[in-house]
Amino acid sequence: MPSHIRERAQIYRIASIPGDGIGVDITEAALRVLATLSTTLGTFELETTTFDWSSANYLTRGHYMPEDGLTQLKAFDAIYFGAVGWPSVPDHISLWNLILPIRKALNQYVNVRPTRILAGTKSPLVGCERGDLDWVIVRENSEGEYAGQGGISHEHSDHAIGTELAIFTQVGIERIMRFAFETARSRPRKKLTMVTKSNAQRHGMVLWDRIFYEVAKGYEDVDIDKMLVDAMTVRMVLNPKSLDTIVATNLHADILSDLAAALSGSIGIAPSSNLDPTRKNPSMFEPIHGSAPDIAGKGIANPVGAFWSAAEMVRWLGEEKAADGLMRAIENVTAAGVSTKDLGGSADTKTVTDAVCKEIEKLG
């Protein structure tokens, strides 16, 4: 028995929710890659249970999750999620009946979104080389415009009123700031940029600014600066090298992370981790992209964001070496030019997946 193999492999229980559209293709690909990783390394095993919670089932059954869905999820060590949303169901229904309740009920108040230019891929930014764009966006994942407060009055009249209330709490801001500072501190540059819109949004965003500077007092080794979100989009495009770790609200970071993914090459490569840092509940891992109905069912979705998310899941579970090995396998494949159309290649999902599995087998 090779010395790196533990006497008994650690077993992790994974809930898999493929969801809709390309969520199904990329989840299948990610589970294949994870199975290859587990078999090759022999250090851990994944016991996966798949939940068919999707828009198709909502249309036939009237719900995404069964009533005890959230309770069922709590029994797992981690959740792997594909994507949810389909043109036959309004997007706010799909989001608010599946992914947002999971993030909230399982206290996944942090959403970590790393972005960098992978080996063999190109940024659309002229002169932006590998290493010039290497960011981690820390997204607040429980409050802001996504807290769910608001409503519509006089809906069936010609003077309907819609309110969307953004909620920012001291507890919510403090805990995301601490996580962001710890993330910045763990990276070589120890640099944190905080994003708000505290010139126009003069209450909640001002509270964000204040708490940021208060928490910063405990992290004197971290270099800090502050940006307004509109100017931040300009800086990301014109001076990507000046950024490292970024912390922003739920809405702002949602938008900035799509931009970040596009600037690093494609939205198809970007991963995300929805974390409960207290570890009382399972955390959830998913690529940042949606169900991409325009390419669904064609077998051409880029699975790299799904693989990177799988690597982050394995890392969170404590299998650091396996996570690093998976990332190396992914980058060996992108470096060899095996990539999908969104990255300028011509491979389909299966070809990229086969290539990553082959690279993983070399790790054994």
State yes or no: residue 28 binds Mg ion (CB under 5 A): no
Q: Are 54 and 27 in contact (CB under 8 A)?
A: no
Does residue 222 touch ligand NAI according to CB under 6 A? no
Mention every residue, 6+ apart, whose C-beta is less than 8 A from residue 80: 14, 15, 16, 17, 27, 30, 31, 48, 284, 285, 286, 309, 310, 313
Q: Where are the alpha helices (DSSP H) in the chain?
A: 22-41, 55-61, 69-73, 91-94, 100-105, 170-186, 204-216, 229-238, 250-263, 304-316, 320-335, 349-361
β-sheet bridge partners, residue 144: 167
The tokens 């070809």 sit on which residue?
351
Give the angle 232-238-243 at the CA atoms, nearest 5°: 55
Contacted by 289, from ligand NAI, Mg ion, none: CB < 5 to 8 Å by type: ligand NAI
Q: Which is nearer to ligand NAI, 197 or 289 (CB)?
A: 289
Footprint (CB under 6 A) of ligand NAI, residues 262-321: 267-268, 286, 289-295, 301-302, 305
Q: Out of ligand NAI, Mg ion, none, which partner does residue 121 contact, by CB within 5 to 8 A per kind?
A: none
Q: Cβ distance 195 to 252 under 8 Å?
A: yes
Site for ligand NAI in 190-209 (CB under 6 A): none
The reply on whether position 137 binds ligand NAI by CB under 6 A is no
Q: Between residues 67 and 294, which has the closer beta carbon with respect to ligand NAI? A: 294
Among Mg ion, ligand NAI, none, the one that 91 touches (CB under a kind-dependent 5 to 8 A) is ligand NAI
Cβ at position 41, least distance to ligand NAI in Å: 26
Q: How far is the CB of 45 from ligand NAI (least distance, A)?
A: 27
Q: Under the criterion CB under 5 A, does residue 254 sit at the interface with Mg ion? A: yes
Per-residue string for binding with ligand NAI, 322-351, x by CB under 6 A? ------------------x-x---------
Question: Which of ligand NAI, Mg ion, none sits in contact with 254, Cβ below 5 to 8 A by type?
Answer: Mg ion
Give min distance, CB of 254 to Mg ion, in A. Answer: 4
Place of tokens 């997946």: 353
* Amino acid (1-letter code) at residue 65: M
Residue 164 beta carbon to ligand NAI: minimum distance, rounded to whole angstroms:
17
Nearest to 6 by CA among 34, 31, 49, 38: 38
Site string for ligand NAI, 64-93 (x = CB under 6 A): -------------------xxx-----x--
CA distance 272 to 308: 8
Name the strands in the sheet holding 134-140, side by side, starting at the edge strand that comes first in the sequence. Answer: 44-50, 10-19, 78-83, 283-287, 271-275, 110-116, 134-140, 245-248, 191-196, 223-228
110 binds ligand NAI (CB under 6 A): no
Q: Cβ(352)–Cβ(302) under 8 Å?
A: yes
In angstroms, give the least distance from the CB of 289 to Mg ion.
8
**CB-based contact 20:55 (threshold 8 Å):** yes
Nearest Cα residue to 31 out of 309, 272, 347: 309
**Of residues 41 and 304, the one with the C-beta less far from ligand NAI:** 304
Smallest distance from ligand NAI to CB 84, Å: 4
Contacted entry of ligand NAI, Mg ion, none for residue 268, CB cut-off 5 to 8 Å set by kind: ligand NAI
Positions that interact with Mg ion (CB under 5 A) = 254
Positions that interact with ligand NAI (CB under 6 A) = 22, 83-85, 91, 95, 99, 267-268, 286, 289-295, 301-302, 305, 340, 342
